[in-house]
Structure 1
Amino acid sequence: MYTTQMDAAKKGIITEQMRLVAREENLEPELLRQLVASGKVAIPANRHHTSLSPKGVGEKLRTKINVNLGVSKDCYDMELELEKAKKAIELKAEAIMDLSCYGKTREFRRKLIEIAPVMIGTVPMYDAIGMLDKDLKDITVDEFFSVVERHAEDGVDFMTIHCGMNRKTAERVKNNKRLTNIVSRGGSILFAWMELNNQENPFYEYYDRLLDICEKYDVTISLGDACRPGSINDSTDAAQIEELITLGELTKRAWARNVQVMIEGPGHMALNEIAANMQLEKKLCHGAPFYVLGPLVTDIAPGYDHITSAIGGAIAAANGADFLCYVTPAEHLRLPTLDDVKEGIIAARIAAHAGDIAKGIPGAREWDNQMSAARADVDFPRMIELSIDPEKATQYRKESKPECEDTCTMCGKMCPMKNMKKILHGEDLSIL
């Protein structure tokens, strides 16, 4: 018998989840077992999530993407959020995080877990105030942990818990002025609770209690980065690195209890800092899978932050990031619409795939080579079939009809693909 995927791996057991992930990733099951045992791969799979099609996150695996959604007080529409979840599944996201922070969060969470074959994550801290119906200052340590246990019972596969925001890190924040302070919602709530009550972060002080819950349900801890930079000015500062060192220590403690871990990272970050930050996380956190939000490489593009995020995400993935959290065009502005969600997913998938090509994931280039062959053959139906977004490719093709069906309205009869194909086959060529 075993308690978690990591426990099984350490005991030499290849679980059904490992077999499925190994098959999908074209890895030998034994190699995957070793990676899970060492903590370099996590397979988030709560034993209560019966509809799950397991995925692996970490070394030697494809870069995965996560989609954030959930209801808020200003936009309370559970049916719309479920539509976003269905769209995320349709568009091949590997994970969905329910960030609901108002109303019947449990009803929504349970429905999501029931229908979703993808990994489900949550941030229990978001749910605490609404679920407990108390002012933040009055929430007790026991009540915080009761929220975590409820999420685990419901079948959540991974939880973001800001365990590294301890009082020492909080002092770093206060003593090293930032432009954007703490931008993590969960991190800022914990910081406020600590300040209001003059107490240590309960998830740091009673970390073993958290591990008890995670081990019981096989929940993967996504160690949250409360001090992730919210501007390129604040990246790689004292508070961020202080917290990262603490997360590395907490990682080893979790592994000793056979609890799987992912590490969350920046944030906003200039291009020239991304590679070093990926290497720093892998070193300080002992090769644990790295889950990044972006990073957004410039702060000036509200309405286009799916692009600033995809640029950073591709560089991060190429340099070792394992899991990208999508960012939509609505980031910093509003709750995303269904169209925003789609734009964010496609941008993140492009970034993840570009990163996989750069880090040599087996089979990553095959898709691109098939597309290039279709272009060389001027085979538009095949190009559309291979597109990351066939719906948009079809729409663009229909909106602008060429004179000749085997060209497009950009080049027409001057199409180099068509003309090279003819010349190399010894055919006559007329471009008049």
Structure 2
Amino acid sequence: MNYTTQMDAARKGIITKEMTVVAEKENMDVEALRELVAEGKIAIPANKNHQSLSAEGVGQGLRTKINVNLGISKDCCDIDKELEKVRVALDMKAEAIMDLSNYGKTEGMRRRIVEMSPAMIGTVPMYDAVGFYDKELKDITVDEFFKVVEKHGEDGIDFITVHAGLNREAIETFKRNKRVTHIVSRGGSLLFAWMELNNAENPFFEHYDRLLDICEKYDMTISLGDAGRPGSTADATDPLQIKELITLGELTKRAWERNVQVIIEGPGHMALNEIEANMLLQKKLCHGAPFYVLGPLVTDVAPGYDHITSAIGGAIAATYGADFLCYVTPAEHLRLPDLEDMKEGIVAAKIAAHAADIAKGIKGAKEWDKAMSKARADIDWETMFDLAIDPVKPRKYRESSTPHHMDSCTMCGKMCSMRTMKKILNGEDINLLRED
């Protein structure tokens, strides 16, 4: 039986190879997975032209996934460095990579990432339009915007962020309700500028069916971008954010009518006490579609440490319903991240995702922690390193400060509680003051 998209297949009762891969990774019944894909509560971004893909699912009942942003800019345009980031991100088992390149002809880099990556690949076609046509933003036509989207589909991109919910009505809401940080979404701000300069409607909203045609053709998942996401805790849960979210819910239903998969993007900066309510609102207004959060960063005053502020918010968000975390690096708000920034961002996001998976009762999450705890009780250093989210750093720390007794560390020495309990329970003398 033929099908156009993963959602179309699911609704026809077809188990695709991608569904089989995801079900095996999640230790989940494939029929239960198919039903959730059919309902739109799980998305499997899998462009027909992404031949190297090892599919991942995003959504209800699945492990929380993380995304890594990278890409060149005019100030930092070394493609080889960005491709090295891709390789390292894949080694660190990131489930998704977004190429956010916004300078020059990016097609070559985009295609290389798709060819080399088993992870799902995302882009924001809006970023590519200026470089693709070498034209000022104001002069880009509606047809040209959609040609860029088509090109990303041809190149094998699995999910595209499109800020289709920032329509004229949302802009009027924004103008009536002043913000501290205005519109911080890069794609959203570019669309806002294009709309204002041309006195026109958002082309992706006005011609949304045309967007769906392209996504259906390649089975690209639409990640409905939140142009109105708060860029400061002061702007969180304000009229623009909620107005846009309502529109995204309506656009979600229209996409599902065409069997196009949808992910909803969510808030950027938000106080801790607002996160749970925002997750509930998103799931309610967007009909249970998978939710992708950009943080949220829970305070605005920690530049240089925003991988931490993001991980705190991400863990809470995922506990209450977010399915997909966009990593944030220590370089956020400051510069293009380098390789070490990226590594720190990935680890922070993976910690947040796993912490939430424990809280959500995801299969295997607690068992991983239990295995680590047992290795600690056994003082089994190699097993601890093998189980660690990042095996490199704990091994480096251990090797940098060697204790006199290898069944301890240099903090506690022979007073190590694990060592003490292990010896006592085995009927041994603990020998605190004398040498063994």
* TM-score category of the 2 structures, normalised to the smaller one: over 0.9
The residue type paired with residue 425 of structure 1 is: N
Quick one: distance in 1 between partners of 2:210 and 2:258?
A: 11
> Could you tell me which residue of structure 2 aligns to residue 75 of structure 1?
76
> Could you tell me which residue of structure 1 aligns to residue 138 of structure 2?
137
> Could you tell me which residue of structure 2 aligns to residue 265 of structure 1?
266
Q: Pairwise mapping of residues 265-284 of structure 1 onto structure 2 (< 5 A)? A: 265-284=266-285
Q: CA deviation at 1:104?
A: 2.5
> Could you tell me which residue of structure 1 aligns to residue 85 of structure 2?
84
Q: CA deviation at 1:7?
A: 0.2
Does the residue aligned with 1:46 lie in a helix, a strand or coil?
coil
CA distances 1:125-160 after superposition (whole Å, capped 9, x unpaired): 000011111111111100000010000000000000
Q: Which moved more, 1:378-387 or 1:180-189?
A: 378-387
Quick one: distance in 1 between partners of 2:329 and 2:184?
A: 17
> Could you tell me which residue of structure 2 aligns to residue 244 of structure 1?
245
- Give RMSD over aligned pairs: 0.5
> Could you tell me which residue of structure 1 aligns to residue 193 of structure 2?
192
> Could you tell me which residue of structure 1 aligns to residue 95 of structure 2?
94
Quick one: distance in 2 between partners of 1:7 and 1:385?
A: 40
Quick one: distance in 2 between partners of 1:324 and 1:156?
A: 19
Quick one: distance in 2 between partners of 1:383 and 1:54?
A: 29
Quick one: distance in 2 between partners of 1:21 and 1:322?
A: 15
The residue type paired with residue 96 of structure 1 is: I
Q: CA deviation at 1:330?
A: 0.2
> Could you tell me which residue of structure 1 aligns to residue 338 of structure 2?
337
The residue type paired with residue 237 of structure 2 is: T
Q: Pairwise mapping of residues 6-45 of structure 1 onto structure 2 (< 5 A)? A: 6-45=7-46
Q: CA deviation at 1:325?
A: 0.2
Percent of aligned pairs sharing the same letter: 72
Quick one: distance in 2 between partners of 1:362 and 1:110?
A: 35
TM-score (norm 1): 1.00
Q: CA deviation at 1:347?
A: 0.3
Does the residue aligned with 2:325 lie in a helix, a strand or coil?
strand
Q: CA deviation at 1:429?
A: 1.8
> Could you tell me which residue of structure 2 aligns to residue 410 of structure 1?
411
Quick one: distance in 2 between partners of 1:21 and 1:380?
A: 32
**Match status 1:233 vs 2:234:** yes
Q: Which runs of 4+ in 1 moved over 2 A?
A: none
Quick one: distance in 2 between partners of 1:14 and 1:384?
A: 38
Quick one: distance in 2 between partners of 1:165 and 1:365?
A: 40
CA distances 1:160-203 after superposition (whole Å, capped 9, x unpaired): 00000000001111111100000000000000011011110000
> Could you tell me which residue of structure 1 aligns to residue 109 of structure 2?
108
**Match status 1:363 vs 2:367:** no
> Could you tell me which residue of structure 2 aligns to residue 318 of structure 1?
319
> Could you tell me which residue of structure 2 aligns to residue 302 of structure 1?
303
Quick one: distance in 2 between partners of 1:182 and 1:132?
A: 25
Q: Pairwise mapping of residues 210-229 of structure 1 onto structure 2 (< 5 A)? A: 210-229=211-230
Does the residue aligned with 2:333 lie in a helix, a strand or coil?
coil
Q: CA deviation at 1:103?
A: 1.6
**Which residues of structure 2 form unaligned runs of 5+?**
none
**Match status 1:122 vs 2:152:** no
Does the residue aligned with 1:156 lie in a helix, a strand or coil?
coil
Quick one: distance in 2 between partners of 1:380 and 1:92?
A: 22
**Which residues of structure 1 form unaligned runs of 5+?**
none
> Could you tell me which residue of structure 2 aligns to residue 204 of structure 1?
205
User: How many residues matched?
Assistant: 432
Q: Which moved more, 1:167-176 or 1:210-219?
A: 167-176
Quick one: distance in 2 between partners of 1:374 and 1:169?
A: 54
Quick one: distance in 2 between partners of 1:428 and 1:129?
A: 73
Quick one: distance in 1 between partners of 2:137 and 2:391?
A: 47
